[in-house]
Structures are given as C-alpha cells and as structure tokens.
C-alpha cells in the first residue's frame, strides 16, 4: 500500500485520509509506514495484537514515536493515537500498566477514586504515546439487557454522567483526549453489534430522559468526541442504524449543540460487515454526519474505505460542505490535544514511573 488507490492528488488523499482512524495487524513499523504514506489517516488505533511481546512498553513507545515522526514529516501534523482503555474486560495493555476496574466496579467506588485512577492510567497512556482514549462508556445499564455486562457505570443516568465526567477529567488532566460512547445509548440493546445488528426497542421518553442524559451532561462539560453505535432505533429512525442516520447525528450536533467530532464505532464489526459493503458503509457514515470513521484491522477494508470516500468526494456524493465540517471538527479535536499534551520531560518521568 503506497498510495491511495484512486487519490490522484495530495489534496484528495489528505481530504479522505483525515476522516479515517485505522488499525493494523501486527507490531511492525513497516505496517504503519505504509498506512501513513498511503492513506494519510487522521490517526491510528491499537489493540492487544499490536502490543510487542518483548520489552512491551519501550517497544510500543518507540513504535508510536516513529509513527508520529513520520506523520510530522510526511503529513505535517500529529496523529491521533487511539486505544480502548475502559477497564475491566476492555483493556488492551497488560502489566505493568495499571489494571483498571470495570465501569460497574468503578461506579461503586468514590468519584475521587475514579478520577484518580483515570489520571494514573492517562499518565501511562500519554507516556507511551497514546493521546486518545475511546472511553468513557456512557451507556445506562438496563435490567432487560446483559450485552454491556460490567461496562456500564450504573442504571442511573445521573450517576453515569458523574462518573463519566470524572473519567473524562482524569484523562484530560494527564493530556489524553476522551470519547463518550455509544450514542444514543446501547444499554437496552439485546444483541451485541460486534456480531449482529441490534434493534433497540425503547420508547421516546426512556431515550430522552435516561439514555441521552449522560451524553448531554458531558457535552455541556467539554467532551471533545462522541462515538455512535451500530444499532437501529425505530423511535428515532426506523430505516437507518445510528451509524448511517443523519437524524440521530443531528440530535447530537444540533439539538445538543455538540461542537466536537462524531466518531463511528469500528466499521469492521459484524453489525456492519454482515449487512453493508465496507466502502458504502464509510460513505454513508460520513454523509450522515460522522467526522471520523474507525476501520480497525484489515488493510483491504482500509483501502476499500479510502477508495469509496475518494470517489464519493470526487463525484460530489459527499459534499464539500460536509467534508469541510468534518475537517473543522477533527481540527478542533487536534487543537484540544495540543492545548493539553504534556511536555516531553514530564512524559519521560511518567514513563520511568510506568517501568518501575
């Protein structure tokens, strides 16, 4: 992968790339070099498979540093370096990184403890090179659903908002951006979108007064990014899942006055790949108002999305205004990052503490 398949200019490649946060298969810099020069992405996302077995934290830090150096040289900008670092069952980094409790367990402790743990985890992430944590989960637990398991703070929306805000502030204090998820709320889903497309059958009152409340609270308190979910909400849009629903995205952007970046969940999840062609999914998500699209593993899917987005931009299927809005919102997120990112000397101290 040396160039965007249909991007015949740097401008088009940049316009398309700045929409994508992409994953990769292994632990080799050659994979990242190919992605950075070929796709020109907004960022990279890491999983357990990307954690080097030998000299883990140091090797991971060198890998991320090399990727950022190449991005600065080739793209003239910093990359978002993202990870899902929720705690409990969703934590990608092993010891010596702090083992975080699940949201459910954290929600049973004090707010101060939640903030302190997030700040400690944030220092470890930042010291390694991560600047974007795809957390906190703002879904409100429901007695009729178990798919979120221990990933929800509570079944009380105010409590979810309080703990979500503490986590957001803890990471921000350590220089790490956060992303609230899964809008408009996955707590009542009966099917896991990792595998199939769920239909969330809840009434309008439950949605407005319960599921949306934590998002509303954190948006008002400066949340910079929100992730939607691959689920159908008939009470809002009986045709399109949130990922492809302009109406659902407009609730966030217009009714809640959210000025940050709207992010898709991983487009490689079963709810999408079993029902939509990958390139078409990326285009539809951007048309619906998403500013950043996650394609988390396969190089063929990354290429397919880049190709489809470039074709849609060239044909006007994705308007210049929509692209401009997406770029403005992701740029705002970059600006937020620049304002909180720690100095290298502090990061070095934090990395020494991580290594013990």
Is 265 a residue of the active site?
Answer: yes
3-state secondary structure 5-38: CCCCCHHHHHHHHCCEEECCCCCCHHHHHHHHHH
Helices (H), the chain: 10-17, 29-39, 56-74, 103-106, 111-128, 157-173, 204-206, 213-220, 246-250, 270-273, 278-288, 299-315, 320-340, 344-355
Is 194 a residue of the active site?
Answer: yes
Residue with tokens 């979810």: 160
Structure tokens at 341: 């990112």
Catalytic: which of 10, 194, 195, 204? Answer: 194
Catalytic: which of 211, 265, 266, 291? Answer: 265
Alpha-carbon span 120 to 102, nearest angstrom? 15
22 Cβ contact list (under 8 Å, min separation 6) = 35, 39, 41, 43, 44, 45, 294, 295, 296, 302
Chain centre distance of CA 220:
19
Residue 339: other Cβ atoms inside 10 A: 9
Report, as residue numbers or ranges, the catalytic residues.
194, 265
């Amino acid at each position: 992968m040396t160039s965007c398949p249909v991007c015949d200019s740097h401008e088009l490649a940049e316009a398309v790339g700045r929409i994508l946060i992409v994953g990769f298969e292994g632990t080799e810099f050659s994979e990242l070099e190919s992605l950075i020069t070929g796709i020109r992405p907004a960022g990279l996302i890491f999983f357990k498979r990307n954690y080097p077995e030998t000299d883990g934290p140091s090797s991971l830090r060198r890998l991320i540093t090399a990727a950022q150096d190449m991005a600065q040289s080739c793209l003239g900008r910093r990359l978002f370096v993202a990870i899902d670092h929720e705690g409990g069952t969703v934590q990608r980094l092993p010891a010596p990184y702090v083992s975080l409790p699940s949201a459910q367990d954290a929600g049973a402790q004090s707010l101060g403890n939640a903030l302190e743990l997030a700040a400690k985890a944030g220092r470890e992430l930042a010291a390694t090179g991560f600047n974007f944590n795809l957390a906190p989960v703002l879904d409100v637990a429901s007695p009729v659903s178990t798919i979120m398991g221990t990933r929800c703070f509570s079944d009380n929306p105010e409590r979810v908002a309080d703990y979500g805000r503490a986590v957001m502030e803890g990471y921000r204090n350590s220089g790490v951006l956060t992303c609230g998820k899964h809008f408009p709320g996955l707590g009542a889903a009966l099917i896991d979108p990792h595998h199939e497309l769920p239909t969330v059958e809840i009434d309008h009152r439950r949605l407005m007064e319960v599921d949306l409340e934590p998002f509303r609270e954190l948006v008002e308190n400066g949340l910079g990014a929100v992730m939607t979910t691959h689920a159908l909400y008939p009470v809002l849009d009986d045709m399109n899942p949130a990922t492809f629903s302009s109406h659902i995205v407009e609730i966030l952007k217009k009714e809640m006055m959210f000025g940050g970046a709207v992010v898709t969940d991983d487009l490689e999840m079963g709810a999408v790949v079993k029902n939509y062609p990958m390139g078409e999914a990326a285009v539809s998500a951007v048309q619906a108002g998403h500013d950043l699209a996650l394609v988390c593993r396969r190089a063929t899917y990354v290429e397919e999305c880049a190709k489809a987005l470039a074709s849609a931009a060239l044909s006007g299927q994705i308007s210049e205004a929509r692209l401009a809005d997406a770029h403005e919102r992701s740029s705002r997120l970059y600006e937020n990052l620049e304002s909180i990112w720690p100095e290298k000397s502090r990061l070095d101290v934090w990395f020494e503490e991580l290594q013990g």
